[in-house]
A and B are shown apart, each in its own frame.
Chain A
Amino acid sequence: MRRLLLIGIVLTGLLCPSVLWAADPLPRSVLVLSQGFSGAPWPTAVHQAIRSALNARVSSPVAVYIEELDLARFGGPQFEQALVSYLRERYRQKEIGVVVAVGSDALELVLNLRKELWTEVPVAFAAVDEATARGLKYPSNVTGSTMRLRFQDAVTAARILVPNFNRIVLVGHPLEGNPYRRQFVKELPEYTMGLERIDASMLTMTEIRKRVAALPNDAAIYYTGIYLDGTGRTLIPYEALSTVAETANRPIVVDADTFIGQGAAGGFVLDPIAVGQDVAGRVLRILDGEAASNIPVTAGNFSKLVFDWRQLKRWKVDENLLPPGSEIRFRPPTMWEQYSSQMTIGFAALLVQAAMIAWLLLERRRRFFFESESRGRLQDVIHMDRVAVVGAMSASIAHELNQPLGAILANAETAELLLAASPIDRDQLKEILADIRQSDQRAAEIIAHMRGLLKKTGASELQEFDLNDVIRDALHTLEPEARRRGVLVGPYQVQGALPVRADRVHLEQAILNLATNAMDAMANCPPDLRKMMLQTAFIGASEAEVSVIDSGTGIPKDRLKDIFQAFYTTKRKGTGIGLSIVRTIVEIYGGKVWAENRPGGGAVFRFTLPLCKAHPA
């Protein structure tokens, strides 16, 4: 255990030369002495960046005190003396781990203060102009980064903003008195383009505004900050920029991040957050035990190219021509950025709706498809049954057809004989021809009717007709078959017109089915007792009833309900389809079908159909 501890200490010593300080950790509190005034945007942004970077690690918070000293307007030995006493009193109870100086003047001040106050406390600095820093002699325990504004950057930005750029107009405090920009004086001769300097300290704001409103169109304004005007009034550069920009007729290039948004078009600007984060990084290293003198002073590059979207529009600068990596601010949020959640919900709802509609349409299509398919199947089955019914009567139909054919043949042969005779009997020939025509028509009618029955229809052909007509048709079709089977078809009782709406062929088929069924039921009866009757009647004012009455054996009571089911049959040769087809047909047209036994023997099959015109009761 002791050996392990020893090795640990040796290793720590090898890896970290500041192991001696580490033994006595610094208090985690930082005093920021800033040269800005309270509320100055750029320094304030730096302070905030320092504060948030120092407290990024929640586990080890750092207390941050900020003193904004307004060194542009205050200074001198007495001020410094008073400041020392003030700070000493104020921070008597507070141990300070690191002093941070923000700004060149602040650094100079801190280095002076250290002679009396916080002598051993390490110092980190930020926002110190390179030129100023070069003139300083750092004591030990001081670190930081310098920064530098370059006139060339402003020229580059101006070229981007003004295509035919040929003239730069410097608006601001004289460069010589500007702590961060005095080095421009040396750079200026390098540039051969036109240069105009509007010395704000010599002019009133009104005059400045007039001057910037009348610039040639190959010019760009470089705003370097106005602290004082010609009347001696102190101005805040940040606010003065807005006032100037209001009347400026050329784009304004700036070099400080916080000027963007005040009417400036853009430029390479110093980023206060990057500056603050740099110094905060150094502070943290010191607080973690590293010696400040071991952290080298470096020249930082905190500039980035930033533009104001509104100004780009105003000066008609194509965004696509900006150098890659340029930051554009104040772009109005797109609909999407503004209402992304609402739009997402909206689109999602729309999508869901569209999907549902599509699904429903698909379902509808499928249902339609299957319905029409099943309708087609039903039509097929009905047709098949009709073919079967008609087929069962084929002998009678052939007989029926052979009557006129026989007459035609006999007539034709007679005509031949008459033509061969010596006095040609023209009158009889005429009669013969008339009879042939009549017989031919009769044969054609039989065939047409059969065709009508056997024709395969795709869908029901709805038409309005008198139900009695269909029954007469059916009787006509049935008659030869009834005769063949020795069934007496009783007189058909008509009861007024029964207008119904249906497919005629279907109804005739239903009646033929019932009649065939009735005749089958009488097959074993003595010939004199084979009687069948068809009747129609009104049921109330809105329904017609058709009855097919036979004198057969009747239906066993327990089977009255089954007989309309498909494939139910009592006949040896039956398919069990006929009556179920009758029910299907009747139900298609909104009716009912049922069977009863007659008291005197035999059965009655009845079906009803709705009338399409109410019966005047």
Chain B
Amino acid sequence: MTTAPPVIHVVDDDTSFRTAIARLLRASGYQVALYESGDQFLQGPLRNEPGCILLDMRMAGLDGLELQDRLRNLDCTLPIVFLTGHGDIPMSVRAIKTGAEDFLSKPVPKETLLAAIERALQRHEEKREQHDRITAMRALVAAFTAREHEVFALVVRGKLNKQIAFDLGASERTIKAHRHSIMQKLRVQSFAEAVSIAERLGLVATPMGGNQQ
């Protein structure tokens, strides 16, 4: 994972500030991408490589909060650090509630800015890892046969082999064989681990909910 440094996307319509902050970030060892408006940012390729967005709250055209909205819909995981010339409490509360990493006021001291960026990158890293794990799990589940899918769905809901066999119109032994195959494909040792994967992938809404149904 020691390939390229993280990319900081700076979205600000004030040229001088944009230039200044880019210099600071580069000197601090980050890659920097500059955008003079939210639209310009959206036009570029959306990447989920390590990085974060430094977003000006108040801009002509698409403003910070609107851009944040759009990005969430686009499944962009890049964390957002808001920057504003003059922020008030309602504005900052709204930004944080909708998932912003941080809310900073200009002029912002270097330490504060870099600390916020570091926190955001950290979070992004975690999110990314989690995302990768789930993707891997999905790949494992994708290797199931149709029968294995059916069996897995019923197994994680806590049904007994006997019940499953009855439901699917198969013998108990056949079900046991499917279970074994599923455990192997998921590369897990215990049945509890398999249930946990199912949960993470959202195949079980909640264990309780399943029982109630």
Which of A's residues lie within 8 Å of B, judged by CB? 395-396, 398-411, 413-414, 417-418, 421, 428, 432, 435, 438-439, 442, 480, 483-484, 486
Cβ–Cβ < 8 Å partners of B28 in chain A: 417
Cβ–Cβ < 8 Å partners of A402 in chain B: 85-86, 105-107
CB-defined A-B contacts under 8 Å, sample of 20: A395-B88, A402-B85, A402-B105, A402-B107, A403-B85, A406-B20, A406-B21, A407-B14, A408-B107, A409-B107, A409-B108, A410-B24, A410-B107, A411-B23, A417-B24, A428-B23, A432-B23, A435-B16, A435-B20, A438-B16
Give complex CA distance A305, B20 in Å: 119
Partner of A414, one of B23, B83, B86: B23
| Shortest beta-carbon distance from B33 to chain A in Å | 17
Partner of B14, one of A403, A428, A438: A403
Q: In the complex the two chains form, is A407's CB within 8 Å of B16's CB?
A: yes
Cβ–Cβ < 8 Å partners of B108 in chain A: 406, 409-410
Can you name the residue of chain B whose Cβ is closest to the Cβ of A432? B23
| Shortest beta-carbon distance from B43 to chain A in Å | 21
Other contacts beyond A395-B88, A405-B106, A414-B27: 16, CB < 8 A = A396-B86, A398-B85, A403-B14, A403-B17, A403-B85, A407-B14, A408-B20, A408-B107, A410-B107, A411-B23, A413-B110, A414-B20, A435-B16, A480-B58, A483-B60, A486-B63
**B68 an interface residue at 8 Å Cβ cutoff?**
no
Cβ–Cβ < 8 Å partners of A483 in chain B: 58-60
Give complex CA distance A417, B20 in Å: 13
Can you name the residue of chain B whose Cβ is closest to the Cβ of A421? B27
**B84 an interface residue at 8 Å Cβ cutoff?**
yes
Digitize B85-121: 1 where CB-to-A-CB distance is under 8 Å, 0 elsewhere.
1101000000000000000011111100000000000
| Shortest beta-carbon distance from A217 to chain B in Å | 113
Give complex CA distance A486, B24 in Å: 31
Give complex CA distance A413, B21 in Å: 10
**B19 an interface residue at 8 Å Cβ cutoff?**
yes
Q: In the complex the two chains form, is A413's CB within 8 Å of B17's CB?
A: no
| Shortest beta-carbon distance from A163 to chain B in Å | 108
Q: In the complex the two chains form, is B85's CB within 8 Å of A410's CB?
A: no
| Shortest beta-carbon distance from A415 to chain B in Å | 9
CB-based A-B contact count at 8 angstroms: 85
Residues 43-73 of B at the A interface (beta carbon under 8 Å): 58-60, 63
Cβ–Cβ < 8 Å partners of B16 in chain A: 403-404, 407, 435, 438-439, 442
Given contacts A435-B20, A442-B16, contact A405 B86 (CB under 8 A): no
Give complex CA distance A414, B107 in Å: 14
Cβ–Cβ < 8 Å partners of B60 in chain A: 483
Can you name the residue of chain B whose Cβ is closest to the Cβ of A413? B110
Most B Cβ at <10 Å: residue of A396, A413, A484: A413
Cβ–Cβ < 8 Å partners of A409 in chain B: 107-110
Given contacts A398-B85, A398-B86, A402-B85, contact A407 B58 (CB under 8 A): no
Which of B's residues lie within 8 Å of A, judged by CB? 14, 16-17, 19-21, 23-24, 27-28, 58-60, 63, 83-86, 88, 105-110
Partner of B27, one of A401, A404, A417, A435: A417
Cβ–Cβ < 8 Å partners of A413 in chain B: 24, 109-110
5 residue pairs, one from A and one from B, having the closest CB atoms:
A406-B106, A399-B85, A410-B20, A399-B86, A409-B107
Cβ–Cβ < 8 Å partners of B27 in chain A: 414, 417-418, 421
Can you name the residue of chain A whose Cβ is closest to the Cβ of B113? A410
Given contacts A411-B23, A414-B27, contact A406 B86 (CB under 8 A): no
Give complex CA distance A518, B125 in Å: 48
Given contacts A405-B107, A409-B108, contact A399 B20 (CB under 8 A): no
Q: In the complex the two chains form, is B58's CB within 8 Å of A399's CB?
A: yes
Q: In the complex the two chains form, is B85's CB within 8 Å of A400's CB?
A: yes
Give complex CA distance A408, B16 in Å: 9
Cβ–Cβ < 8 Å partners of A406 in chain B: 17, 20-21, 83, 85, 106-108
| Shortest beta-carbon distance from B88 to chain A in Å | 7
Q: In the complex the two chains form, is A403's CB within 8 Å of B106's CB?
A: yes
Cβ–Cβ < 8 Å partners of B59 in chain A: 483
Can you name the residue of chain B whose Cβ is closest to the Cβ of A399? B85
Give complex CA distance A410, B106 in Å: 10
Most B Cβ at <10 Å: residue of A395, A414, A435: A414
| Shortest beta-carbon distance from A570 to chain B in Å | 25
| Shortest beta-carbon distance from B183 to chain A in Å | 54
| Shortest beta-carbon distance from A430 to chain B in Å | 12
Cβ–Cβ < 8 Å partners of B88 in chain A: 395
Most A Cβ at <10 Å: residue of B23, B63, B83: B23
Give complex CA distance A428, B24 in Å: 11
Most A Cβ at <10 Å: residue of B27, B83, B88: B27
Q: In the complex the two chains form, is A407's CB within 8 Å of B20's CB?
A: yes
Cβ–Cβ < 8 Å partners of B105 in chain A: 402
Cβ–Cβ < 8 Å partners of A438 in chain B: 16
Cβ–Cβ < 8 Å partners of A400 in chain B: 85
Can you name the residue of chain A whose Cβ is closest to the Cβ of B104? A406
| Shortest beta-carbon distance from A119 to chain B in Å | 140
Partner of B86, one of A395, A411, A442: A395
Can you name the residue of chain A whose Cβ is closest to the Cβ of B87? A399
| Shortest beta-carbon distance from B92 to chain A in Å | 14
Can you name the residue of chain A whose Cβ is closest to the Cβ of B84? A399
